[in-house]
Structure 1
Amino acid sequence: MISMQYDRIAKCEREEPYVTDPVRPNIGAEFRRRRLGHFRDAPAYARYRQIYDRAMAGLPPYDGFQDVPTGFGTVRAYRFGADGADAGTPLLLLPGRTASTPMWAPNLAGLRARGRAVYAIDLLGEPGLSVQSRPFANAADHGVWLAELLTGLGLARTHLLGVSIGGWTAFRLAMHAPEKVTSLSLLDPACLFGRITWKAVAVSLGTVGPLPEPWRMRLLSWISGGADASGDEPVAALISAGMRDFAAFLPPPTYPSDDEVAAVDVPTLAVIAGRSIIHHPGRAAERARRLLAQGVVELWPDASHALNGEFPERVAARVLDFVDRLDADDALHGRH
């Protein structure tokens, strides 16, 4: 049934672009009063959507998409690859802040290479095609809507791969509903194993508001270790457009205590970027090694916070080796 829905909706979207989206985006000041993520006005949405579609065109073709209702809004989820019991436990991708699904352009081909179904979502309350309908009261709400998303997708359990704030969000799900999580793969997660640095705060403050576009791009390049952040690079252009055209109302990501981290008894691959400005990499890696109950912690000294784009082949191989081993072990012991 889900596959039929995906195929039917995807066919409509490809024939007629975003005007046929079944969920209307939040646009305008009325959503500010309700403290819901929204596009500032209709021209802002039109600009953003044009850039989003251009960035999506750089991804491998998706097999379908679904807009999944949750208690906090409707989440846009794309499916890439197999959709069957013999494909193994699916892998769900969570992007970084303001990035949405197109940020996985360097990674999707590699992550699909072994036949596993891969889902990618736009985070709720962030720029993208997910549409928020209820304000977030606190950080714990992110674990709630993500659990509801998995139920709506018909996924009893899943492997999760998250970068930056997407890694933090994946960990919130493991705190809230660990029975839904087969494993976590976290790429330089923000505000999880190390506290946010003043450099990251400076970038966060500098990339919102009426900042000239060249300055915004320069800040994005800085946080990404010098990566290309020009307007000609589709994902960088999309992130910049989201910062300019979208207003978010997100509670600050809560830094989990030692006891909270240690209580998450889920197999976890934590990759810390040695050149990250989000946290102090060595301290973050040490805390992860000390606290994770089933942790595999790696410090990649040559990587920046944008490591998924810097090392796509390395990321895909490491993540797939990790999840394949877990699936094989589950099959050997009859666990599903």
Structure 2
Amino acid sequence: MSLSDFDLAYDELRGRWPESTEDRDVATPYGPTRVHVYGPVDGIPLVLLPGGSATGLAWFANAPALGERYRVHAVDLLGDAGRTERRGTPLQSVDDLTAWLDALLDGLGLARAHLCGHSYGAWLAARYALHAPERVDRLALVEPTQVFAGFRLGYLLHALPHLIRPSEARARAFLAWETADIDLDETWQRLYALASTVPCRKLIAGGRPRIADLRMPVLVLLAEHSRAHRVDKVAERARRTLAQGEVALLPGATHHSLPLAAPKPLNDRLMDFLTVTASAGAPQPADRVADRSCWTGPQPETDTDMTTSHQT
């Protein structure tokens, strides 16, 4: 498929966002970054980072609710498919990604913000929160990959065909396997599948962040039927290592069905977390979690706990 097919899908999905959404191209040393902005001008800023291949448009089902209270900034990631361009300073390392986010927040005029990421975007959000904790009020990690545990071997094996020989058909087959019978938006599926065929993508991978060093409140939202990693292992490690952590399970969800399928539970849980008052948001014991059901279901398959450059 050609890049123009991706552009058509991108523009079609952009039409699902609220009418008053603004598209901003923010100058950074690494090139202009596309950000979709929605919500009250005086709203508390909330920066949303998508998973790999998803683009910032993936939050289309969440923006209407989140934008009632927050000033939403949904970002097309540097190095990934989308309308963010790589120009100027080369993208070579995790340090470049955090420097890019510094410049992006500066360009948006955001001294501080809430930060939320999904999958690869959650890994990046965690790395940034460690890099610039003074700029992150609250951190939400939705199905974070390579943060608390590695990928499951079965997930990597199913991902391998479209990683080695990218095509729309292979990406769709992988997505269908991971999301099972969940009904996903067709335009977003097409955009995700076509993203794998966009040339010159460069997703930077790195080691697991030192999560124990995070000192802001952190919410970890996990999908009940995720095939990306063992949910029980991720939950246990989050509970054990986060100084101010909450862990919640999203029933019926899979890794790639988030954040767009059945968005209300995610929106509600995220807004509950973000709107906690200062007094209620005081540091909590590390073993205090929002939902212990993460550990009470059937045990998933064996986890290889592999660290790999593949990110989603």
User: TM-score, length-normalised on structure 1?
Assistant: 0.77
Matched, 1:280 2:230: yes
Which of 118, 129, 137 aligns to 2:72? It is: 118
CA distance in 2, matches of 1:315, 1:107: 8
1:45-64 aligned at under 5 Å gives the runs 45-64=3-22
Matched, 1:66 2:24: yes
Contact kept? 1:140, 1:172, Cα under 8 Å: no
Residue 11 of structure 2 aligns to which amino acid in structure 1? D
Matched position secondary structure for 1:237: helix
Matched, 1:196 2:196: no
Contact kept? 2:36, 2:57, Cα under 8 Å: no
Counterpart of 1:144 in structure 2 is 99
Deviation at 1:147, TM superposition (A): 1.8
Residue 251 of structure 1 aligns to which amino acid in structure 2? I
Contact kept? 1:143, 1:170, Cα under 8 Å: no
Matched position secondary structure for 2:221: strand
Matched, 1:233 2:191: no
Deviation at 1:106, TM superposition (A): 1.6
Q: Which 5+ residue runs of structure 1 have no aligned equivalent?
A: 1-42, 331-336
Contact kept? 2:212, 2:241, Cα under 8 Å: yes
Residue 197 of structure 2 aligns to which amino acid in structure 1? R
Q: What percentage of aligned pairs have identical amino acids?
A: 33
Counterpart of 1:177 in structure 2 is 132
Contact kept? 1:61, 1:80, Cα under 8 Å: no
1:1-336 aligned at under 5 Å gives the runs 44-84=2-42, 87=43, 89-113=44-68, 115-133=69-87, 134-208=89-163, 210=165, 213-228=168-183, 233-256=186-209, 260-305=210-255, 306-326=257-277
User: TM-score, length-normalised on structure 2?
Assistant: 0.82
CA distance in 1, matches of 2:86, 2:152: 29
Contact kept? 1:225, 1:276, Cα under 8 Å: no
CA distance in 2, matches of 1:273, 1:118: 23
More deviation, 115-124/129-138: 129-138
Contact kept? 2:27, 2:33, Cα under 8 Å: yes
Q: 1:180 to 1:44 in 2, by over 3 A?
A: same
CA distance in 2, matches of 1:212, 1:250: 17
Contact kept? 2:167, 2:194, Cα under 8 Å: no
Matched position secondary structure for 1:125: coil
Counterpart of 2:286 in structure 1 is none
Counterpart of 1:9 in structure 2 is none
Contact kept? 1:143, 1:175, Cα under 8 Å: no
Q: 1:310 to 1:48 in 2, by over 3 A?
A: closer
RMSD, matched Cα = 2.1
Deviations 1:42-71 (A, max 9, x none): x83322111110111122224322211223
Matched position secondary structure for 1:207: helix
Matched position secondary structure for 2:27: strand
Residue 323 of structure 1 aligns to which amino acid in structure 2? L
Matched position secondary structure for 1:117: strand
CA distance in 1, matches of 2:279, 2:200: 44
Deviations 1:22-56 (A, max 9, x none): xxxxxxxxxxxxxxxxxxxxx83322111110111
Q: 1:212 to 1:156 in 2, by over 3 A?
A: closer
CA distance in 1, matches of 2:200, 2:151: 22
Contact kept? 2:98, 2:127, Cα under 8 Å: yes
Q: Which 5+ residue runs of structure 2 have no aligned equivalent?
A: 282-312
Residue 197 of structure 1 aligns to which amino acid in structure 2? R
Q: 1:73 to 1:203 in 2, by over 3 A?
A: farther
Matched position secondary structure for 1:148: helix
Structure index of larger Rg: 1
Deviation at 1:116, TM superposition (A): 1.9
Residue 121 of structure 1 aligns to which amino acid in structure 2? V
CA distance in 2, matches of 1:67, 1:328: 37
Matched position secondary structure for 1:60: coil
Question: Which structure shows the higher helix fraction?
Answer: 1
